[in-house]
Amino acid sequence: MTSESTGDPGVRATPRIMRPRVLAAALVVGTMVAIPATGRAAWQQIAAFLSLRGTPEPASANVLSEHEIEGLDATAPQDQASLLLERSINHYQGANDQIAARVGRWRGKLTLDARLNGLFVTALNSDDLRVRAAAIEIDIAARNLEKSSATIDRLAVAAATGDQGPRANALWDLGLLGNRGIAPARVADVLLGSIHDPNENIRYWAVEGLAYLGTDEVIEPLLDVLHDDPLPMIRERAACGLAQSGMLSAAQRRTAVPRLLEDAADGSLDEQTRKWVFQALRDITGQSLPHDPAAWRQWYNATER
């Protein structure tokens, strides 16, 4: 327990926060003694609402208010995007519809400043793929990318040659655009052609791009990278892309389980990589089993076949 500082290390201030706590506790005890059983039940119900445990308790109907919608046009695109992405993160009805309707007009007018970038990162880590998709749409607009096959062709060239910075940016952009339906097969070809690049940063961003492309065909290559890439950093990104990050659905991730079970029992893999394999299995299945290939295989045989 810490005391408030007075600015003099030789003087200990009275912890002011303690006195209201004691008073509040006394009031609660007195109240509990005075109220009948029905009142106690009501108090217990209120206390339950304040607990961190239990099912979620909505604070409101989570509907984007008419007032907010009416006021959007009077604000700058930056403020519109920030507000609507925040509402999307909190699952407000209508937020994603507003983003979809407006994002085309935001292209080239957004900056990933501290606020919007923080919201972007939060949205990318949402457990809702639609929230992640909203974040991707906003990032595409902020990066001033036109959704066209011509953009894919330009980025494919940029990803193949030149300095690693522009190449890495191109791989990221390709993954985002491919996820939004812009030439996904062409995007997959470019990304798959980069996962064996001698430059580790290019391989890293190719793996990230595949995870965000999120098509069925990326799962086997990500599993191969997890098993075979010489760098732990890149193997870890492949594991994350399979387990939680990116734009693969829960059903798509489930298809990786048989290969992950094989990797879990593969003695040729180092201990850290096998740990990532077990973590991926837990994230994908929701099962909290020990890092034991036999236990996972037994569970799979009993429940998944």
pLDDT digits (tens, 9 = 90+) for 2-16: 444 434 333 333 333
> How many CA atoms lie within 13 Å of 186's alpha carbon, on the beta-carbon side?
16
The packing angle between helices 164-179 and 184-192, to 10°, is 150
Domain locations along the chain? 66-142, 149-303
171 to each of 3, 77, 152, 153, 291, how far by Cα in Å?
A: 52, 26, 10, 12, 34
CB contact set of 196 (below 8 Å; sequence gap of 6+): 203
Q: What is the pLDDT of residue 37?
A: 64
Structure tokens of 103? 């994002």
Q: What is the pLDDT of residue 103?
A: 98
Q: What is the pLDDT of residue 44?
A: 61
Structure tokens of 266? 């593969």
Domain 149-303, second-level architecture:
Alpha Horseshoe (1.25)
Q: What is the pLDDT of residue 43?
A: 55
Q: What is the C-alpha separation between 88 and 97, in angstroms, rounded? A: 10
CA dihedral 212, 86, 166, 150 (to 10 degrees): 70
Give the global pTM.
Answer: 0.82
Of residues 208, 82, 233, the one with CA closest to residue 222: 208
Which residues of the chain fall short of a pLDDT of 50?
1-33
3-state secondary structure the chain: CCCCCCCCCCCCCCCCCHHHHHHHHHHHHHHHHHCCHHHHHHHHHHHHHHCCCCCCCCCCCCECCHHHHHHHCCCCHHHHHHHHHHHHHCCCECHHHHHHHHHHHHCCCCCCCHHHHHHHHHHHCCCCHHHHHHHHHHHHHHCCCCCCHHHHHHHHHHHHCCCHHHHHHHHHHHHHHHHCCCCHHHHHHHHHCCCCCCCHHHHHHHHHHHHHHCCHHHHHHHHHHHHHCCCHHHHHHHHHHHHCCCCCCHHHHHCCHHHHHHHHCCCCCCHHHHHHHHHHHHHHHCCCCCCCHHHHHHHHHHHCC
Instruction: Please give the backbone phi and psi of residue 93, each rounded to the nearest 5 degrees, phi first.
Output: -60, 135
